[in-house]
Structure 1
């Protein structure tokens, strides 16, 4: 049922209906939906932090493998910041070391020549369980709030947007009160719920403190670390050989060569 009042009686056929909203709608419909959405979003963030797994360490061989790959990438990208002698020494050392595959972290299954089963991997099981918990923590509150809005506030028109829109926005903004003669700028209660779901992330970022943000960042970085840990030794070895080839063919040009002449030429 629409809680609104038509201006000037019933609108004529084909004309755009001009409506006057009950001022109490702001306090009994618009404000409760907005407050519940914000509080639920904050609670969901804290629940996801609590159910997230802790930071897991990696074996020493895996850390050594990653450090040598990073060292080679840094040498290729920033080799111009060191002298030619230092670059050549690092180039010779890393090219031989990476090409030999000495520091590739090989699991027991890889050494035996068998293919590891991801279903029996405890790390994979923990990652799948963590993903399922996160999905449930997001799905259940949204389902409950959607039922609450649809049950108690169906058919309410809450506000009128101050800018014009095309008819393509009518279905998105007027869910539950689809009428042919209603201006597209009017927003229904259910549509306001969907807009809040999609647009409250900046509000959550403003309300969340730094500690929660840091914990959420750790949660988001866990899948990338797990993917790195699950990388096959053959893939890592191919990456190392590719970096060894890049280092071998890299041409060095030190940024300190003739720096005095370049500075004098620039400021002379």
Structure 2
């Protein structure tokens, strides 16, 4: 039998002067970040009437086709509205910049330049401010931990883990014989970085800006989703909605069809079929 691996005994001052300070600093920085983002966000601007009409036309079409199978409108009203929207989407009537110029070459129109749209520029600037508020504090905290607490072992997890977690929990410590449950200072930073969202929701509410990992996942540099404020190509949206409207016309059914017969049958005035 091999000799048992000796246990480690941590100095209580590591808990008081390293473990607790790192956790408290990250919580406070997250709360501060939430309020800084709230201050940097500009009040919503009033959309010009053509842009508002462009959005409302798409919303109107979405509602119309979403309720096609149980429509409150009879066919005599539903079909003229659907045909009017179809014609408007085909001709580009609701586009804020007017109908697109005819494309004689047959090539697809290039997407609009976001740098020429002031609203899109404001959205991109707001996204860049949010990313800077996320990145700068995390870089400072990581540099602080690497400079003062590099190589520290802070805590031992109370449950067993496999060796696959060793690289995640013991970053900065090259000791292959150490129990995988011990957590280094740098790994403790990453655990807090990805694990404090529940505490932020409890303190700041569900719609908070303190969770930096969520913004990192949404960053275009991380391969995530597009930033809010990115301009929408309503030419493509109207074209897709046009196809959906044509398809929904075949599914239309008025909710009030044969309502008299259904009411009489429900109350026993007519024999049930």
Aligned 8 A contact 2:54 2:96 in 1: no
**Moved beyond 6 Å, runs of 4+:** 112-115
Name the residue aligned to 1:63. 52
Deviation at 1:243, TM superposition (A): 3.5
Deviation at 1:240, TM superposition (A): 4.1
Distance 2:6 2:81 in 1: 75
2:13 matched to 1:19?
no
Out of 109-118 and 151-160, give the one that drifted further. Answer: 109-118
Taking a change above 3 Å as real, the CA distance of residues 97 and 74 of structure 1, as seen in their structure-2 partners, is same
Aligned 8 A contact 1:72 1:243 in 2: no
CA deviations over 1:107-135 (Å, ceiling 9, x no partner): 16946989653333322322332222212
Aligned 8 A contact 1:33 1:193 in 2: yes
Taking a change above 3 Å as real, the CA distance of residues 185 and 236 of structure 1, as seen in their structure-2 partners, is closer
Taking a change above 3 Å as real, the CA distance of residues 93 and 137 of structure 1, as seen in their structure-2 partners, is same
Alignment of structure 1 residues 1-268 onto 2, 5 Å: 15-79=4-68, 81=70, 86-101=73-88, 103-107=93-97, 110=100, 116-208=112-204, 213=208, 226-227=229-230, 230-232=232-234, 234-252=235-253, 254=255, 257=259, 258=262, 261=265
Deviation at 1:172, TM superposition (A): 1.1
Aligned 8 A contact 1:163 1:185 in 2: yes
Distance 1:82 1:122 in 2: 39
CA deviations over 1:183-203 (Å, ceiling 9, x no partner): 000111111011111111111
* Higher normalized helix content (fraction of residues): 1
Deviation at 1:82, TM superposition (A): 5.0
What TM-score does the superposition give when structure 2 sets the normalisation length? 0.75
Deviation at 1:52, TM superposition (A): 2.1
Distance 2:51 2:118 in 1: 17
Taking a change above 3 Å as real, the CA distance of residues 263 and 254 of structure 1, as seen in their structure-2 partners, is farther
Distance 1:71 1:99 in 2: 12
Distance 1:223 1:148 in 2: 30
Taking a change above 3 Å as real, the CA distance of residues 124 and 32 of structure 1, as seen in their structure-2 partners, is same
The 3-state SS of whatever aligns with 2:158 is coil
The gaps in structure 2 that reach 5 residues or longer are: 104-108, 219-225, 269-273
Deviation at 1:90, TM superposition (A): 3.2
Aligned length: 243
Deviation at 1:247, TM superposition (A): 3.4
Deviation at 1:29, TM superposition (A): 1.0
Deviation at 1:167, TM superposition (A): 0.7
CA RMSD of aligned residues (A): 3.4
Aligned 8 A contact 2:145 2:186 in 1: yes
The 3-state SS of whatever aligns with 1:159 is strand
Deviation at 1:34, TM superposition (A): 0.5
Taking a change above 3 Å as real, the CA distance of residues 140 and 196 of structure 1, as seen in their structure-2 partners, is same
The 3-state SS of whatever aligns with 2:6 is coil
Taking a change above 3 Å as real, the CA distance of residues 21 and 122 of structure 1, as seen in their structure-2 partners, is same
The gaps in structure 1 that reach 5 residues or longer are: 1-12
Aligned 8 A contact 2:169 2:181 in 1: yes
Aligned 8 A contact 1:104 1:236 in 2: no
